[in-house]
Amino acid sequence: MAVNRAWATMLDSVAPVFFSFFSLLFLVTTETAGVSSSVYNSSGFFSLKYRFSDQERSLNVLKAHDTQRQLQILAGVDLPLGGIGRPDTVGLYYARIGIGTPSKDYYVQVDTGSDLMWVNCIQCRECPRRSSLGIDLTFYDVEDSNSGKLVPCDNQFCLEINEGPLSGCTTNMSCPYLEIYGDGSSTAGYFVQDIVQYARVSGDLQTTTANGSVIFGCGARQSGDLGSSSGAALDGILGFGKANSSIISQLASSGSVKKMFAHCLDGTNGGGIFAIGHVVQPKVNTTPLIVNQPHYSVNMTAVQVGIEFLNLSRDVFEGDRRGTILDSGTTLAYLPEIIYDTLISKIISWQPELKVFTVHDDYTCFQYSQSLDNGFPNITLHFENSLTLKVYPHDYLFSYEGLWCVGWQNSGLQPSDRRNLTLLGDLVLSNKLVVYDLENQVIGWTEYNCSSSIKLQDDHSGTVHLVGSHYISSGCSRLNPVWLFALILLSMLVLTLEL
């Protein structure tokens, strides 16, 4: 098969026009549809690796990352998963997937806040050639895969993702894509379809290799942090978002998996669990997902400090009806100004003798030499259906240059497009099993030891199997087939797309 080189040439010659004119056309706004297949015969799990674990701690870097992350979320151009979740480090979990026939390994970011999967393409000249992570970067070439094929402009996927026929894109041309990040980074190329391999749960702590056909982007042009200047580079991004174009939706629509997955981010040891399937143990209580929202958003109803509830009206939580966004690709936790001010005052009131500092204009810090958990209150967030999320002092307080700093942030100080956003990142999501049930449009969580194991049920056979935590070592050789679809969970320096 011959690759349609016209698009790659066009991207080089008319890039400025392409980026401005098509930026609105290529955004995905399709709604998540229910899955009607009655047969689900596989569950999968993914090994995690912590990125940037030894990078110098910087509060400026943390805030810069979260600022970019929020721009990406609100720009609608794309999401996480998770990492160590410490607000005093910059990090990312990543994994490897197998693509093509014969299969080749790719290191990608797994993102619950974005939908599109893409990897760097052989035609790309602006893509990074080396990575500081000690991994070999791989460029996808559809001509090298016996199972790979181009996705033409009249393909249903192309029509849906562009909400109809794309002007200038004829039947004999491959369907192009363009995604622009809020920080100015972008990726552009064309869609291809190929086999993706993953590890299907076949017994307690055992897997066999399974595969599914997936449509994804072949990145022919990258810019910004996705380009050659990115030192800790990866091969691409794997979207686990809500739209029909995400990998979870594509696999579910084919009956390969059920539209349910879970992650447990080990904030102590690194690594953790990311599994597709029906989690039956531990049991989790759930809260409804807000409909017609592009992200995993839920309704918060109250904030409790110790045993005392903050005196807040319901309007504070409803805000602009976006609800509370859960995003493990964000490091900290952001609250509307009225919640933030009241919360910080209550926390500090537990130690009235503290001398409080403001560091880098945003962080409330102080000196304290005793036990954090004995000296400060637990923060309990309440959600619909009586679901609660408890955040301990050792979670929301972190050390920095001899001080303890508060990880809660004031979103009321953000620019107008992000003002008073409620967004919960790794600060509150690590060391918890978080379950995403898109079949029933709910999400839930429970405190859990993420270095242990969970139980998944095969809804077709009824069998239940253990799935354990994993950690991919640095600089390792090519994967054993069972690990070919070990996905990345991202945590802090994640640059993700939102469709």
Catalytic residue set: 111, 327
User: Helix (H, G, I), strand (E, B), or coil: what is residue 396?
Assistant: helix
10's tokens: 């066009």
341: how many CB neighbours lie within 10 A of its CB? 13
Cβ neighbours of residue 312 closer than 8 Å, sequence gap 6 or more:
302, 303, 338, 339, 342
Which residue, chain included where needed, has tokens 């690759």?
A: 3
195: how many CB neighbours lie within 10 A of its CB? 17
Q: Is the peptide bond before 294 cis (omega within 30 degrees of 0)?
A: no
204's tokens: 């307690």
Rounded to 5 degrees, what are φ and ψ at 69? Answer: -60, -45
DSSP label at 33? P
Apex 254 CA angle, 253 and 256, nearest 5:
105
**Cα gap 493→51, rounded to integer Å:** 9
Apex 21 CA angle, 225 and 6, nearest 5:
80
**Cα gap 424→179, rounded to integer Å:** 24
Rounded to 5 degrees, what are φ and ψ at 250? Answer: -65, -45
**Cα gap 122→141, rounded to integer Å:** 5
**Cα gap 174→162, rounded to integer Å:** 13
**Cα gap 47→484, rounded to integer Å:** 10
Nearest alpha-carbon partner for 448 in 281, 199, 323, 243: 281
